[in-house]
Structure 1
Amino acid sequence: MTTPNVTAPWSDRKYLLWLASPFLPLLGFLTLLAAYLLEQPALFWLMPAFFYGVLPLMDWLIGTDINNPPESAVAALEANRYYRAIVYAYIPAQYATTIMAVWLATSTDISLASMVALLITAGLINGVAINTAHELGHKRADLEKWLAKVALAPVAYGHFFVEHNRGHHKNVATPRDPASSRMGETFYAFLPRTMIGSLRSAWELEAERLERQGKSVWSFDNENLRAWSMTVVLFGALTLWLGTGALAFLLIQAFFGAALLEVVNYLEHYGLLRQWDERTGRYERCAPSHSWNSNNIVTNLLLYQLQRHSDHHANPTRRFQSLRHFDESPQLPSGYASMMILAYFPPLWFKVMNPRVARHYGGDVTKAHLYGPKRERLIKKWQTAPTPCPETVVPATPSQQEQRSPNLVAASRHRCSNCGYVYDEHEGNPNEGFVPGTGWNAIPDNWSCPECAVRDKSDFVPVT
């Protein structure tokens, strides 16, 4: 991990540059407004051209930044409300662009080409908004969690709020995760698998949580139903105002936006696998080596440093301005803006990424996350290291439960060893279905931290 000289005063050199994130939807709105006022349909294509042309070029020209904030500065960074305001600011500009695009598509006389440009523009802005929801949804404040659902409404992907936080982060880089792609799997095979699997996972997670509360999965306490209701209200209001054409437009752009999210999911963990340990009966903990990283400056400015994905998965509640680069993380050859385009062309994607996966595992691709139908062909082509004996297992990091002293087991408070969340038996956690007074021994063994989801019950530390 690269860190700056902590003896010198530190300041965020990108302090004002982070405004690029909310500027993206504002740019989308301004291009649509300019096209309408100037009666120049070609301007409708400015946002698609910027996203798929200018951004990859800027990533290449401006390059990367591997500098990290010193840990001594992190507390002040995370407390600075300026960074939160930047995330919040994305949402009103997102809604303005969406409404403007729907109105233009249904109330003005435009060509088919302009209609396609409008769909792409709205889909891009709302697809990137899922990343805004991603940043907000991982935080503890109720306002930020609510705003995450608001950002997801125009793209009709409200279940992402549930599945990503409590499903993807728990199961990432394992066969249990629908959002982790396999080596040899095309994006077009991955897309339906992840869309269907993520929806199913979100529903099952809420069914399990509500069952502990003694409630039906169809209760409005279901976070999926709450999030989807925002979409119904938004789409319904615009349809009543602008007609059924508005609904068709909204559904198409929503699919495009969701597919934009999933192509990012596709590249973030491609071919990476957490090893199963027979001794513990668990997958090894998620580490920086289980996510593809990128330090390209421009795309990181636009996506709240989503490309520093390794640190995000290791520490999900860490805010974007504090995310770090790790030298041991596998690195993408370019930023997301370029890699997304590459993913649309499987032969090129495989040519660039399969050798990197093989190198990451030292030539032993049996340790990679392989696409089942191509498993034997991939091993035949890429295996260069001797195949390990079947009885060999990856050494596991002992759980906190295994390390704790016997005299601490009876503690009434237990702290997550990752994010610091504390379960107090006296308070319980009613939202998780544990009423006040629920003892630690009554908590299911497969329960994960409700804040970060990357530590299980056995990883909690007793608090004296």
Structure 2
Amino acid sequence: MSIVALRYLLSFSLYIFAYISFSSSGIWTFTLVFYVYFFVPLLELISKPNYSNTSINNEKNKINKKIYDYIIFLVFPFQYYFLFYFLHTFSIDLTTTEKIGRIISMGALCAHTINVAHELGHRFNKFDQLLSKLLLLSTLNTHFFIEHNRGHHKKVATLEDPATARKNENVYIFIIRSMVFGYISAWNLEITRLKNNGTANYFFNFRNQMTRFTLLQLTLLSVIYLIFGINVLIAFLIVSFLGIAQLELINYIEHYGLLRKKLHNGKYEKITKMHSWNANYMFSRLMLFELTRHSNHHIKASRKYQILNHLEKSPELPTGYIGCMLLSFIPPLWFYIMNPLVEKYQK
């Protein structure tokens, strides 16, 4: 067993604080919120980036160690257990403070789940892809599997990509724009695929993944309503929105203002390390399964998280991912700090 791999168990600290949030009352329901949105960014604000990379000789060794897969697979039972725990314990008897604390906490878990689904969805193994889809189902974000893999990774750092934030674009506008047009893009991608395959009825067709995903999500919503009632269903819908919104926040900071040049032939220049923002703070690197080494991910999306490397001179955020997410909530301050960096890296 690799001791190095066990470092990624740090991400499961989220569930310890989630348990406290869901089993406590009063202000203690915000325990996970405090951990994620105060402790982590503060820690990274006072720490230094860690640029350590996996050597070429060690890459094959890391790829073949199943412990890395087992760790990330563990998120699946944890997500569904805590989702059920949230639904089962959410009650109209809770105070407004307790409801808000639990909803935001579950939303944070859903955002974490989407990130893990993102990692698994890029793999070619059918089992990994199935886990990815089931994790996305628990967040009502199944269309992400289609749009992210076949849309975002093809159009990233262009104005055609809903998930790429333009320079000076307000984060609140971006979140809605990316949500709406990302969903539309997923439908368009599936319809185009079926048209190209000669399928006549491409909309209400079970071969259309979006049709299947929609039916699965409606089934999940129906089950929640029948078992837990309308109030819990509404809470779950809010949780899902918050989880997806936090995903969009990550999208916002990952590509803000970085655009590829359009060539004379009408095509865009090749995706390079200069088209994604990165953060090398060890704490969030481990918690987010190296998502923060985003340039390497976009150069080769199938690279497993344990071998993602820092690429020298690639764009770097001024602090960790969560700290930058919080910073983006104040657009004038975000623009003031980030726009000079955009200009620096776009030269």
Smaller-chain TM-score range?
Answer: over 0.9
Superposition pairs for residues 426-437 of structure 1, below 5 Å?
none
Pairwise CA RMSD of aligned residues? 1.6
1:27 aligns with 2:12: no
1:272–1:357 Cα contact (<8 Å) kept: yes
Q: Which of residues 140, 146, 151 in structure 2 aligns to 1:156?
A: 140
CA offsets 1:215-260 (integer angstroms, 9 cap, x no match): 3232122222333333323322221111111211111111111100
Aligned-residue offset at 1:97: 1.6
1:122 aligns with 2:106: yes
Structure 1 partner of 2:162 = 178
1:143 aligns with 2:133: no
Pick which of 215-224 and 248-257 moved more.
215-224
Structure 1 residue identity aligned to 2:141: Y
* TM-aligned CA distance change 1:129 to 1:228, over 3 Å: farther
Q: Which of residues 56, 73, 82 in structure 1 aligns to 2:67?
A: 82
What secondary structure, in the 3-state scheme, does the structure 1 residue paired with 2:5 have? coil
Structure 2 partner of 1:42 = 27
1:48–1:120 Cα contact (<8 Å) kept: yes
Structure 1 partner of 2:204 = 218
Aligned-residue offset at 1:80: 1.3
In structure 2, distance between residues paired with 1:312 and 1:12: 23
Aligned-residue offset at 1:304: 0.7
Aligned-residue offset at 1:53: 0.5
Q: Which of residues 283, 305, 315 in structure 1 aligns to 2:268?
A: 283
What secondary structure, in the 3-state scheme, does the structure 2 residue paired with 1:15 have? helix
Structure 2 partner of 1:302 = 287
2:278–2:294 Cα contact (<8 Å) kept: yes
CA offsets 1:33-58 (integer angstroms, 9 cap, x no match): 3x1xxxx3222110111111111122
In structure 1, distance between residues paired with 2:153 and 2:228: 39
2:203–2:211 Cα contact (<8 Å) kept: no
1:56–1:338 Cα contact (<8 Å) kept: yes
Structure 2 residue identity aligned to 1:238: I
Pick which of 343-352 and 169-178 moved more.
343-352
Structure 2 residue identity aligned to 1:58: L
In structure 1, distance between residues paired with 2:164 and 2:118: 16
In structure 2, distance between residues paired with 1:137 and 1:313: 14
1:22–1:89 Cα contact (<8 Å) kept: no
Structure 2 residue identity aligned to 1:16: L
Percent of aligned positions with the same letter in both sequences?
34
Q: Which has the higher contact order (CA 8 A, sep 6+)?
A: 2
1:168 aligns with 2:152: yes
1:21–1:90 Cα contact (<8 Å) kept: no
Aligned-residue offset at 1:14: 3.6
In structure 1, distance between residues paired with 2:222 and 2:76: 19
Give ranges in structure 2 of 5+ residues lacking alignment. none
Aligned-residue offset at 1:26: 4.6
Superposition pairs for residues 437-456 of structure 1, below 5 Å?
none
In structure 2, distance between residues paired with 1:237 and 1:62: 45
Q: Which of residues 333, 343, 350 in structure 1 aligns to 2:335?
A: 350
1:274 aligns with 2:264: no
In structure 1, distance between residues paired with 2:235 and 2:176: 21
Give ranges in structure 1 of 5+ residues lacking alignment. 1-10, 363-464
1:183–1:270 Cα contact (<8 Å) kept: yes
1:129–1:151 Cα contact (<8 Å) kept: yes
Aligned-residue offset at 1:101: 1.7
CA offsets 1:263-298 (integer angstroms, 9 cap, x no match): 1000100000111110x3310110000001110111
Aligned-residue offset at 1:12: 7.0
1:292–1:332 Cα contact (<8 Å) kept: yes
What secondary structure, in the 3-state scheme, does the structure 2 residue paired with 1:265 have? helix
CA offsets 1:106-134 (integer angstroms, 9 cap, x no match): 3x621011101111011110012110110
2:279–2:316 Cα contact (<8 Å) kept: yes
Structure 1 partner of 2:304 = 319
In structure 1, distance between residues paired with 2:164 and 2:61: 34
Q: Which of residues 202, 221, 230 in structure 2 aligns to 1:244?
A: 230
Structure 1 residue identity aligned to 2:251: N
Structure 2 residue identity aligned to 1:258: I
Pick which of 325-334 and 52-61 moved more.
52-61
In structure 2, distance between residues paired with 1:173 and 1:13: 37
Aligned-residue offset at 1:13: 6.7
What secondary structure, in the 3-state scheme, does the structure 2 residue paired with 1:67 have? coil
Pick which of 215-224 and 154-163 moved more.
215-224
Superposition pairs for residues 388-399 of structure 1, below 5 Å?
none
In structure 2, distance between residues paired with 1:29 and 1:214: 50
2:255–2:276 Cα contact (<8 Å) kept: yes
Structure 2 partner of 1:430 = none
Aligned-residue offset at 1:360: 1.6
Aligned-residue offset at 1:65: 1.1
Q: Which of residues 217, 240, 245 in structure 2 aligns to 1:259?
A: 245
Aligned-residue offset at 1:200: 1.0
Structure 1 partner of 2:6 = 16
2:2–2:67 Cα contact (<8 Å) kept: no
Count residues with an aligned counterpart.
Answer: 345
Structure 2 partner of 1:420 = none
Aligned-residue offset at 1:317: 0.2
TM-score by length of 1: 0.72
2:175–2:248 Cα contact (<8 Å) kept: yes
